[in-house]
Amino acid sequence: MTLEAIRERVRAASERRSPLRLRGGGSKDFYGGEPHGEMLDLSRYAGIASYEPTELVVTARCGTPLAELESELAARGQYLPFEPPHFAPGATVGGCVAAGLSGPGRAAVGAVRDYVLGVKVIDGGGRLLAFGGQVMKNVAGYDVSRLFAGSLGTLGVIAEVSLKVLPAPQAEMSLSLEMPLERALDACNRWAALPLPVSASAWHDGELVVRLRGSEAGVQSAARKIGGAPRDASAFWTSVRDQTHPFFASPGSLWRASLPPTAAPLGLPCTELVEWGGALRWVKGDVDSKLVREAARRSGGHATLFRGVERGDGAFAPLSPVVMRLHRALKSAFDPHGIFNPGRLYPGL
Amino acid sequence: MDLARQRETVRRLREFLPERSVLWAEEDTRPYECDGLTAYRAVPMVVALPESEEEVRRILRTCSEGGVPVVPRGAGTGLSGGALPLGNGVLLSMAKFMRIVRLDPRARVAVVQPGVRNAAISEAAAAFGLYYAPDPSSQIACTIGGNVSENSGGVHCLKYGLTVHNVLRVRGFTVDGEPLEIGAESLDSPGYDLLALAIGSEGMLMVVTEVTVRLLPKPDCARVVLASFDDVQTAGDAVAAVISAGIIPAGLEMMDRAATRAVEQFVGAGYDLEAAALLLCESDGTSAEVEHEVERMERVLRSAGATRIAVSRDEAERLRFWSGRKAAFPAVGRISPDYYCMDGTIPRRRLGEVLRFIGELEKKYGLRCPNVFHAGDGNLHPLILFDANDPEQLARTEQFAAEVLEKCVEVGGTITGEHGVGVEKINQMCTQFRSQELEAFLAVKAAFDPTGLLNPGKAVPTLARCAEYGRMRVHGGALPHPELPRF
Ligand SMILES: Cc1cc2nc3c(=O)[nH]c(=O)nc-3n(C[C@H](O)[C@H](O)[C@H](O)COP(=O)(O)OP(=O)(O)OC[C@H]3O[C@@H](n4cnc5c(N)ncnc54)[C@H](O)[C@@H]3O)c2cc1C
């Protein structure tokens, strides 16, 4: 598939004012509002456009499978530090950036948006726009590249993206510690305030698993400080990232509550899996939306209905009226006829 | 100046501001006539110095009702004229917002007012073993509000990120005085990433009245490797060699001989003055980690052609090695009546080539140009030395600078890595972007500020302006910014 073909589809849809449902690998179809509109399959606009390991930059077309990108990087000893979830085998780079979701390393190393250096996007008029670039620092013009990260395809087609990559850590070790949630939160926050190479944490059902990444010397000395039992955990971290861990199979809706890491346990009648040193609380069970949203809000964060039994009245926490007004204005700046993924992020957007 | 308009604006502001907070007499407003880019000056019609968010809100309301443009200002250290006042507008100084509202060592965040100096945050956090990572060389003077608006960087940004990676939340007002809060102490707020838009927006989208920053644990130990090279090209290639060896230094800076000689007279950092270029390559972490990494750095630098290597033995020596880099701008300021600082970023692998190109321009224009810069990020700061009292030198300087910036774009880089576009590089925006991207930027601006009263005329050129600039260049008259006050 060529770029020109995608632009042609967009122009035609725009003329007919007919909504398009943008899709990469379909691995995140469940996420956000119900997708609808004519399918625009982007998975065939694929391939790594350029990769310069010494520049720490890779540029890939949107349909490039994440798995392919990751193995290209691994072959040169580099990786995507934000560990994007795949959820299913077909996950693409475009979908990863549009969804804006990051994996276990997020609290330690940053999110997808932190690694986006530049994008080429197709706007609602079918124009190909280029923002940012392939260099590490760039403050010419507003940072529109990062605006597209997490926009769930509502602003335009992300045709190509340049990402910052990093050298893979030399050493890694995971440790398992038995403790209740309150103590785990306390421990994670204490460690995070010390210069320790903690790169991920996950607490569930009385077990805290902590991952260290860095130099051999740094990992060894941190392991002595933290204690616990070494655990072979690479499959474990993938299962947390891609939600194949048994916790995610328990009944009920899945909520993703993003809280300040020091917030007390939410105390909802649900099971929980806690990542990011306390900053991410997965909540699973049959609870009323209002209850979860209100609990998250009171703790200084927000909750997303991540996988709903019913998608109900929107997946994402409502925005303040001013912020919503800005969303509408930005949406109509990039997609004046509202053809891209209507309702996927917020109803009416 | 339109005196009736000035009188009316002062009268309306004085309805809710005390006398000390509204300046209008020329002797009081003149100190605000420029920021760190002193080449551009304009005395503001009125200066307002609010002390509370409510005052900011009312100033903005008053100005938008009266159609008066507003230019926000922090410490005025900006190097692209972002805080250049307007002769028919209000300069909104945030200097009195100096309070650290809350510092939470357990959650590793600080909530600060925008007028707090960058260095003051790390000073306050030091008691808890924490610090705020982005460290512009101007950190003892510049404010966090200015940092947010410019997305400022520093020598440690290669490893620890820019302002955009270290700010969690901002609060403030749109130009019509509507309160706006973006981001939170929790991560990844729902909706569009408005925080990314606000950061680096050069005071054109909102006025920031509160900022929440992330604090990081201070590394146990840091050491810096000082490596000498026989020519700048080899030093440039050594930068790429360090990165390809899988090392991300805590800082990776380069200075050429013209720069080291200037700073050595000034601070006595102990630099090798025979070297054509010096690299400062820092490692931080636990002492075991640092020891190991420094060894690897030394090995890579040596095989990349370093002729001499010195490693800091203690904290005092480390600070001495850095002192030259940190004092580079003022030191250069002492060897020349004026200097013009550029800020392009290029792919690292083109460093050697672009430095050679700058060397040739020195000959072509007959002007000296020392280089000190963030080599690890590919962010250049060529400093053209000139005498502003000589209009002919000034014209040569501007042409020199324009050629360098256009070269940066040509090799796949950008006209500004951290200092912003401001008024200074607004014409080069027409080189870097096509009309359709500029239109998108103007649309983003209009989404936040439909009336265009907040810091107008900065950062994003109108299409008409670009057309004019293009015509001017075609006709060979290469004098940029014809409508702006001259040096
Ligand atoms: C010697 C020297 C060294 C420097 N080194 C570096 C460096 O290493 N890295 C780097 O990135 N920069 C550097 N700079 C540039 C400058 O210090 C930074 O851009 C800094 O962030 C500006 O902060 P300020 O408080 O002085 O802002 P100002 O210059 O006052 O303003 C800068 C911009 O921010 C806007 N602004 C300020 N406050 C607010 C607010 N509260 N709300 C909305 N908008 C606001 C202004 O309108 C203006 O557009 C250096 C400057 C000097 C003079």
Q: Name chain A contacts of B348, Cβ cutoff 8 Å.
A: 54-55
> For A108-150, how does the pLDDT look when each residue is reduced to its tens digit (9 = 90+)?
999 999 999 999 999 999 999 999 999 999 999 999 999 999 9
- Calculated CA dihedral for residues B198, B203, B207, B213, nearest 10 degrees: 50
Q: Name chain A contacts of B162, Cβ cutoff 8 Å.
A: 137
Q: Output the CA angle B365-B366-B368, nearest 5 degrees.
A: 105
Element containing residue B317 per DSSP (H, E): helix B315-326
* DSSP 8-state assignment for residue A258: E
Per-residue pLDDT tens digits of chain B, which is 487 residues long = 899 999 999 999 999 999 999 999 999 999 999 999 988 999 999 999 999 999 999 999 999 999 999 999 999 999 999 999 999 999 999 999 999 999 999 999 999 999 999 999 999 999 999 999 999 999 999 999 999 999 999 999 999 999 999 999 999 999 999 999 999 999 999 999 999 999 999 999 999 999 999 999 999 999 999 999 999 989 999 999 999 899 999 999 999 999 999 999 888 899 999 999 999 999 999 888 899 999 999 999 999 999 999 999 999 999 999 999 988 888 888 889 989 999 999 999 899 889 999 999 999 999 999 999 999 999 999 999 999 889 899 899 989 999 999 999 999 999 999 999 999 999 999 999 999 999 999 999 999 999 999 999 999 999 999 998 876 654 434 444 344 333 3
State the Cα–Cα distance between residues A239 and B121, nearest whole angstrom. Answer: 39
Residue A313 has pLDDT above 90, yes or no: no
Residue B192 CA from chain centroid, whole number: 25
**What spacing in Å lies between the alpha carbon of B386 and ligand 1's midpoint?**
23
* pLDDT at residue number B472: 61
Neighbours of A238 (CB within 10 A): 16
State the Cα–Cα distance between residues B309 and B303, nearest whole angstrom. Answer: 12
- The 3-state DSSP class for residue B293 equals helix
Element containing residue B372 per DSSP (H, E): strand B372-373
Query: Are the C-beta atoms of residues B235 and B134 closer than 8 Å to each other?
Result: no
- Let me know if B395 is exposed, middle or buried by CB neighbors in 10 A (0-12, 13-18, 19+): middle
Q: What percent of chain A has pLDDT over 90?
A: 96
Assign residue B6 a region: left if phi > 0, alpha if psi is -120 to 50, beta otherwise? alpha
Which of B77, B112, B118 has its CA nearest to residue B97? B112
Query: Are the C-beta atoms of residues B223 and B312 closer than 8 Å to each other?
Result: yes
What tokens appear for B457 in the block? 């005329």
**What spacing in Å lies between the alpha carbon of B420 and ligand 1's midpoint?**
9
Q: Output the CA angle A204-A304-A20, nearest 5 degrees.
A: 130
Residue contact B440–A327, C-beta within 8 A: no
Neighbours of B483 (CB within 10 A): 7
* DSSP 8-state assignment for residue A122: E
Q: Output the CA angle A179-A182-A183, nearest 5 degrees.
A: 45
State the Cα–Cα distance between residues B91 and B69, nearest whole angstrom. Answer: 9
State the Cα–Cα distance between residues A57 and A158, nearest whole angstrom. Answer: 17
What tokens appear for B1 in the block? 């100046």
* Beta-bridge mates of residue B384: B340
**What spacing in Å lies between the alpha carbon of B128 and ligand 1's midpoint?**
27
Q: pLDDT band for A312, please (50, 70, 90 cuts).
A: low
Measure CB to CB from residue A218 to each of B179, B289, B345 and give the nearest one: B289
Give me the half-sphere count of Cα atoms (radius 13 Å) on the Cβ side of residue A85: 21
Neighbours of A156 (CB within 10 A): 28
Across the range A45-63, mean pLDDT stands at 96
pTM: 0.96
Helix ranges (DSSP H) in B67-168: 118-125, 144-150, 157-160, 163-166
**What spacing in Å lies between the alpha carbon of B268 and ligand 1's midpoint?**
28
Residue with CA nearest ligand 1 atom 18: B78
Q: Name chain A contacts of B105, Cβ cutoff 8 Å.
A: 193
Query: Are the C-beta atoms of residues A165 and A78 closer than 8 Å to each other?
Result: yes
Residue contact A194–B162, C-beta within 8 A: no
How many residue pairs from chains A and B have C-beta atoms closer than 8 A?
A: 245
State how beta strands A116-122 and A157-164 pair. antiparallel
The ligand 1 site (C-beta within 6 Å) comprises B 35-36, 71-79, 82-83, 94, 114, 136-138, 142-143, 145-147, 149-150, 152-154, 202-203, 207-208, 329, 418-419, 455
Element containing residue A294 per DSSP (H, E): helix A289-298
Sheet order of strands, B46-48 included: B22-23, B46-48, B90-93, B70-73
Convert A52-79 to b/e letters by CB count within 10 Å (16 or more is b): bbbbbbbbbbbbbbbeebbebbeebebb
- Calculated CA dihedral for residues A304, A307, A313, A319, nearest 10 degrees: 20
Element containing residue B299 per DSSP (H, E): helix B287-303
Give me the half-sphere count of Cα atoms (radius 13 Å) on the Cβ side of residue B413: 27
State the Cα–Cα distance between residues A330 and A147, nearest whole angstrom. Answer: 10
Which of A263, A273, A254, A347 has its CA nearest to residue A299? A263
State the Cα–Cα distance between residues B191 and A318, nearest whole angstrom. Answer: 9
Measure CB to CB from residue A106 to each of B187, B286, B418 and give the nearest one: B187
- CA distances (Å), B220 to each of B288, B294, B311, in order? 10, 15, 17
What tokens appear for B447 in the block? 């989404």
State the Cα–Cα distance between residues A122 and B76, nearest whole angstrom. Answer: 38
State how beta strands B277-285 and B221-229 pair. antiparallel
State the Cα–Cα distance between residues A227 and B417, nearest whole angstrom. Answer: 43
- The residue type found at B40 is Y
Residue contact A134–B186, C-beta within 8 A: no
What tokens appear for B165 in the block? 């990676």
Neighbours of A51 (CB within 10 A): 17
* pLDDT at residue number B486: 31
State the Cα–Cα distance between residues B375 and B255, nearest whole angstrom. Answer: 9
Which of B32, B62, B27, B57 has its CA nearest to residue B44? B32
B289/chain A closest Cα distance in angstroms: 6
- The residue type found at A59 is T
